[in-house]
Every structure is written in structure tokens, then in C-alpha cells.
Structure 1
């Protein structure tokens, strides 16, 4: 990955080549988004906007031909986050900005992406129907009926996915920038990601309010919890670094976080608790006390 970042930063043509080539792929569009963010962070909004406009051509073609707006939404959202980070020089503020971006993405799908949502609803209906038939075959006496997601639920889910992936692409770009120009800087910056109690309370109440409206809005509630999830992940990284544990711990943790929803909720809960209890400051104070002893 470092070699790719070095290639991109050699010149305009190299950055353009990578950004445009990967923007037209459903599997590789995240690379294009990270490249646009890296150029924006390092060379400014003008260079980033120029690269974004070129990358939007294959992403827009993909949307026009196949009706998939995901790559285009990811490119724009990541570019906006990179601009916010360059302007504010604040990672917490930038990650927080992903919440309205995710909401706008979901609302945009409801307003302009009804065809895509209809396709997604049909896909889930077909998949769940097949799964019901398989379960019924295994147990003849059990009548299984799985709940189908609505178009609004899918729009919220895709908004949350765009928000999450845009932050991930931005963090990749920030890591590239640190590796090339400020080794070790990204690790320090990410481990310090923290939200004060007022912000944490606002995000939590917004998520609870949306979830209380019914099942249809729970995917929208997830968008509000994404910043807290990243703050919790930063807390885990800080804990591992403080304990001097190896990267193997983080690999195991991320595998659990990726596949187990209770782990995601635990990470959010840890971020909420950290807002009031300031665990990282306690660890530093304890380390200083032990060293004085």
C-alpha cells in the first residue's frame, strides 16, 4: 500500500491513472476515493477537486449503466471529509461530518434512486425466500417466515455503509500521508480520537430516537453511532499501545468486530463511557505514577 501511495504522489498523471482506473470498479472504488483524499490532504482542495471530477466520469458511467450510485457516493463523501480535515485539522470533527453525509446519501436514494432500491428489495426478497425454503426442507414442521427489509431500511443501510466506508477511505489516505511525510503521526492522531460528553449524548439520543420510531428506522440510527464506533476503535488501539501488546491482538479484535454485532455495541459503549471517564488520561496518569515509584 505504501508503494501505491508513493506512485500516486509522483505526479498528476500517476494520481489520475490510479483514481480513474479504480473509480469504475465496484471492488476497487475505495482506492480511488482514498487517492482523491490523499491528494486533497497533501496538495489542496484545487488539486483534489480536479482529480475528483475525472474520477466521477467512470463512477457516473457505472451509475448510468448499472444504476449503482455507491462508487459515486463514496468518492464524493470521502472528498468532502478530506476537505473538512484539511480545513479543520481535526479528526473528531471530520469523522462527525460523516453523519450528515450518510443521511444525505440515504435521503438521496429515496428521492432519486427508487429503481436501485427496488432492485435491492427484490434481491433480498429472492434471497430470503430461498433461505426460507431451505429451512423448511430441513424442518418439515417449522414454518419459517423471515422479515423482508423495506426500501427505507435499505436506503438507511446504504447511507450507513457510505458513511463508514468514506471514513475508512479517509483514514487510509491519512495513513498514507503519515507514512510518506510524517511517520508515526497517524497512529498518534487516531489513538487520540475522542468525543466530549455533549457530543456523545447528542449522538446517542439521536440514535435512540430514530430506533424508537420502528424497525424501519434502525438502519438510520446506525449512522449516528458510526463516530462513536470509530472513537471506540481508537480507544482499543490506545489500550493495546499502552499495554505494549502486538498487532496480533488487533487482528483478532477486528475479526470479532467485523462478524459479531455485540462486539460493535461493546465498542460504542466503551466510547460512551470514555467520554465521561477519560480512560486514556487515567492510563497515562497510572503509567506516570508507576514510573515514579
Structure 2
């Protein structure tokens, strides 16, 4: 991956070639978005706008074929990388990712109902096939049928998550090339401001209280807490000099156990007010040799 980043940074033509080829694929469109983010972070939007324009060509073709993901990911990545470059704040970059997800969901609801309806049709077909099985419970499966708002929320959440992951890859590339170890230090210190955490918490709870249709929208707003929680876990693991197997165990547990997701969000909120890593470091420094 470092070799790819080095090639991209040789010049605009190389960046355009990689982003266009990657965006035109189904499996590696995220690489094209990460290339766009790298150019934006390093050279600014005036240079990356040329990469964006060329990368949008295959993305628009894919959108015409029914996959709007590459278009929304490219635009979202451009937004968050500009925010991170101008503010050097991961907190605001994460907020920008939430904005990208919300806008994506609203735009799809407004102008992409055909795309959402097609997804709903496919989901209904799958549920009907499951209901036709000998052990299928038609009533329970019918209750699982999502609404257009739920599908839009899921697509917005997916967009926000993908945008953040592409930005992190680009920032890691940038650190590898120009500031070794910089991304690790930057990520380990990621912590939301107390006021921002309150605003996000209130917004997430307000959306979730509107009913099942908006729970994924609430999860979208909670995304900054998730990544702040990841940063907290990585930071504490580094302070305690824990090996990577502990982090692997944590991520597997996070994926499998839903209560852990809630615990991580709560820890991120608490950390925004009391700075858990700072307190642990202070205690370590106070220990006698």
C-alpha cells in the first residue's frame, strides 16, 4: 500500500489514473476515494479537484447502472479531507462524515427513490424465500421488512463509515510518506470535545426517539463516538503496552456483542469530559521507580 501511495504522489496524472481505475471497479472503489483524500490532505482541494472530476466519470457511470455508492463516497471523502486539512481536528472531520451520511440519506430519499425501492424489492424477495422454507415464520419475517426511511438511514450510515475509513487510510499513507508515526499519535489522542459530545448525544437520542424508522439515523450521529471509542481503546492499549492480540480480541467482541457497542459509546462520552488516557498517564508518572 505504501508503494501505491508513493506512485500516486508522483504527480497529478498518476493520482488520476489510480483513482479512475479503482473507482471504476466494484471491489476497490474505496481505494479511489482514499487516493482523492490523500491528494487533498497533502496538496489541497485545488489539486484534488482535478482528481475528483476524473474519478467522478466512472462513478457516474456506475450510478447510472444502479450503484450510487462511489459518487457519494467520493463527494463525502472530499468534504471530510478538506475539513481535516483546514482544521487538523479529527472531531470535526467525524462531524463532517456524519453530515455526509445524512445528506446522502436525504438525497436518496428525495431523488433516488427508485434505487431505494429496488433495494426494498430485493429484500422482500429474500424474506419471501425464507418464509417459504419449512421452518419459516411468515409473520415474524414480514415484521422484518424495512421501510424506505430505514434503507436510506442504512445507506447514509454506510456512507459515513466508509468515508471515515477512506480518510484514515489516506492519513496513514500521508504519515508513512511524510511523517512516520504521526497517524498513530494523532489517532491515539483523538477525543471529542465535551460540548460536541453533548450536541451529538442529544441529536442521536432525539432521532432514535422518533421510532424504529430513525434508529439508523441516530446510529449515524453516534458514529463519532464509535471512532473516539476505538481511539480510546488503542490509546489505553499503547499506554499499557498491550500486544495486538488484545486489540484483535476487542474488535471481534465488538462485532459479536451488541452491549459492547453501547459500552464503547458511553466510554467515549465519559472520556470527552474526564480524559481517561490523560488520567492514566498521570497515574503512571506518579508511580515511584
The TM-score with structure 1 as length reference comes to 0.94
In structure 2, distance between residues paired with 1:258 and 1:158: 19
1:16 aligns with 2:13: no
Counterparts of 1:1-293 in structure 2, within 5 Å, are 1-64=1-64, 66-134=65-133, 137-138=134-135, 144-145=140-141, 146-290=143-287, 292-293=288-289
Quote how far apart the aligned CAs of 1:173 are: 0.2
Residues 97 and 121 of structure 1: CA distance in aligned 2, closer, same or farther (over 3 Å): same
- Once the two structures are superposed, residues 122-171 of structure 1 have per-residue CA deviations (whole angstroms, 9 ceiling, x without a partner) of 1111112222333xx1379x964342101111001101110111011001
Q: 8 Å contact 2:130–2:136 — kept in the other structure?
A: no
Q: String of CA shifts for 1:245-285, please: whole Å, max 9, x gaps.
A: 11222222223323443332221111012122210111110
Classify 1:101/1:87 alpha carbon distance in 2 versus 1 (closer, same or farther; 3 Å): same
Give the superposition deviation at 1:26: 2.4
Let me know the Cα RMSD of the aligned residues: 1.6
Segments of 5+ residues of structure 1 without an aligned counterpart are none
Q: Distance in 1 between matches of 2:259 and 2:30?
A: 27
Worse-superposed segment, 171-180 or 198-207: 198-207
CA shift for structure 1 position 94: 1.0
- Can you list the C-alpha shifts for 1:6-28, whole angstroms capped at 9, x where unaligned? 12112222211110001112211
Counterparts of 1:287 and 1:177, CA distance in 2: 32
DSSP-derived class of the 2:222 partner = helix
Q: How far does the alpha carbon of each residue in 1:176-216 deviate from its partner, in whole angstroms, 9 at most, with x for none?
A: 00011100000110111111222111111111111111111
In structure 2, what is the Cα distance between the partners aligned to 1:254 and 1:139? Answer: 32
Count of aligned pairs: 288
Q: Distance in 2 between matches of 1:6 and 1:39?
A: 11
The alignment partner of 1:138 has SS state of coil
TM-score between both structures, scaled by the size of structure 2: 0.95
Q: Secondary structure at the match of 2:49?
A: helix
Structure 1 residue matching 2:253: 3-state secondary structure: helix
Separation of aligned partners in 2, 1:70 and 1:143? 32
Deviations 1:192-244 (A, max 9, x none): 11112221111111111111111111111111100011100000000110110
**What SS class does the counterpart of residue 10 from structure 2 fall into?**
coil
